[in-house]
């Protein structure tokens, strides 16, 4: 009888001991559950923290499956599966910033009040430049506008005409109508009508890079093709009128007489930065210390004379 009474007591003690071990093990396992930083706006972390607090065994006794991301099946609704762009990252990660394509370069230059002419003066270029000038004046009529020029005018490098002379006159008239100061800068080349635009900037604010070139020349007759002789004559007269207008405008902005400008324009007249400054096309040369260096240097004629080179007058 005594033996029979002892058996249940041993069984009860072992059950109590195993229950205590299970509870202590459960408490230990709960402390080992990784608790991510909670962000109320993050549905994944909110759901994961809720499951960890209510039923930790669901997270501890999970089958490992390499094809499924961890803790992905705890979501009961597909609405919780937000895309990364819709989820605000928690404080433990870098701030989420949506990626956008960068703005185009002309827009960045326009934001800095810079208008760049880097092509021959064709109708598309004229339309864009005039529109940008009008826009910048509308934005702020007091701030200066910076006009960078690297253009062969209405012709290409080989001399072929690609645009009418009115393209350059259109930009020139727009510049004259603006209330803003216009700072012109020659980078590369300013030929023909582009040289006129360079000289038409605000006095004292016309610049040129030290190795840039400027050139003035007579307008060219566009390709006539199979046009009748009478039409060719009409075009030739129009070119002469445009030449006279160009001579008057260059004489006005450079301070030279119309006769001297017309005489130089009989043939292409090239100018480096020093000669362009002497001729009155620009006011300053943009290079640190370059003005002093080039002012102390001898002009090309003196170099030729010292070298014993005789330069023939242009025919």
Q: Is residue 97 part of a domain?
A: no
Same structural domain, 117 and 226:
yes
Same-domain status, 274 and 202: yes
Judge whether 217 lies within some domain: yes
Question: pLDDT digit string (tens) for 282-291?
Answer: 999 887 655 4
* For residue 42, pLDDT beyond 50: yes
The closest of 224, 202, 219, 222 to 284, measured between CA atoms, is: 202
Please check whether residues 262 and 121 belong to one and the same domain.
Answer: yes
* Buried/exposed 117-153: b ≥16 CB within 10 Å, e otherwise: beebbeeebbeebbebbeebbeeeeeeebbbbbbbbb
Same domain, 131 and 257: yes
DSSP state letter for 78: G
Helix H or strand E segment including 269: strand 269-271
Share of the chain above pLDDT 70, in %: 57
Domain boundary among 46, 71, 87: 87
Same domain, 27 and 41: no
Distance CA 219, CA 237 (A): 11
Q: CA-to-CA distance for 75 and 21, rounded, in angstroms?
A: 32
Is residue 206 in some structural domain?
yes
Residues 69 and 175 grouped into a single domain: no
Phi and psi at residue 184, to the nearest 5°: -100, 140
Using CB atoms within 10 A of its CB, is residue 43 exposed (0-12), middle (13-18) or buried (19+)?
middle
CATH number at residue 164: 3.90.226.10
310 inside domain:
no
Same domain (yes/no): 49, 146? no
- 42 and 157 in one domain? no
Domain boundaries, position 9: 1-32
Residue 52 has pLDDT above 90, yes or no: no
- Sequence-separated (6 or more) residues with CB below 8 Å from residue 153: 120, 121, 168, 191, 192, 193, 194, 195
Asked if residue 40 belongs to a domain, the reply is yes
Q: Are residues 3 and 18 in the same domain?
A: yes
Q: pTM above the 0.85 mark?
A: no
Which of residues 144 and 23 earns the better pLDDT score? 144
Q: Would residue 141 count as lying in a domain?
A: yes
pLDDT at 120 over 80: yes
Q: Across residues 307-315, what is the average pLDDT?
A: 60
pLDDT confidence of residue 231: 84
pLDDT for 129-188, tens place per residue? 999 999 999 999 999 999 999 999 988 877 788 888 889 999 999 999 999 999 999 999
In a domain, 169, yes or no: yes
Query: How many independent structural domains does the chain possess?
Result: 3
- Residue 106 within a domain: no
**Euclidean distance between CA atoms 220 and 265, whole angstroms:** 12
Contact present, 208 and 197 (Cβ < 8 Å): no
**54 contact partners, CB below 8 Å, separation of at least 6:** none
Same domain for 257 and 142:
yes
Considering the domain architecture, whether residues 181 and 69 belong to the same structural domain is answered as no
Question: Does residue 146 share a domain with residue 75?
Answer: no
In sign, the C-alpha dihedral spanning 94, 97, 99, 100 is negative
């Amino acid at each position: 009888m005594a033996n029979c009474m002892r058996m249940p007591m041993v069984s009860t003690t072992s059950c109590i001991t195993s229950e205590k071990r299970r509870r202590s093990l459960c408490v230990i396992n709960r402390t080992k559950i990784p608790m991510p930083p909670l962000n109320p706006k993050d549905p994944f972390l909110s759901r994961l923290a809720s499951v960890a607090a209510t039923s930790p065994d669901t997270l501890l006794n999970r089958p490992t499956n390499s094809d499924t991301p961890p803790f992905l099946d705890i979501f009961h609704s597909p609405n919780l599966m937000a895309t990364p762009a819709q989820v605000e990252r928690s404080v433990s990660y870098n701030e989420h910033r949506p990626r956008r394509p960068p703005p185009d370069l002309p827009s960045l230059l326009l934001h800095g009040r810079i208008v760049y002419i880097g092509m021959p003066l064709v109708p598309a270029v004229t339309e864009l430049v005039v529109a940008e000038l009008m826009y910048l004046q509308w934005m702020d009529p007091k701030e200066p506008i910076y006009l960078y020029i690297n253009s062969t005018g209405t012709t290409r490098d080989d001399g072929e005409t690609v645009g009418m002379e009115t393209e350059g006159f259109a930009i020139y008239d727009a510049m004259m109508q603006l209330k803003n100061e216009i700072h012109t800068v020659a980078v590369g080349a300013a030929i023909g009508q582009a040289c006129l635009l360079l000289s038409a900037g605000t006095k004292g604010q016309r610049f040129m890079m030290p190795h840039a070139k400027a050139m003035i020349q007579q307008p060219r007759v566009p390709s006539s093709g199979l046009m009748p002789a009478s039409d060719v004559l009409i075009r030739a007269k129009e070119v002469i009128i445009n030449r006279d207008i160009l001579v008057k405008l260059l004489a006005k902005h450079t301070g030279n007489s119309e006769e001297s400008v017309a005489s130089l324009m009989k043939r292409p007249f090239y100018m480096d930065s020093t000669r362009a400054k002497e001729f009155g096309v620009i006011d300053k040369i943009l290079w640190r210390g370059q003005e002093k260096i080039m002012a102390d240097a001898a002009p090309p004629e003196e170099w030729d004379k010292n070298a014993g080179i005789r330069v023939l007058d242009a025919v």
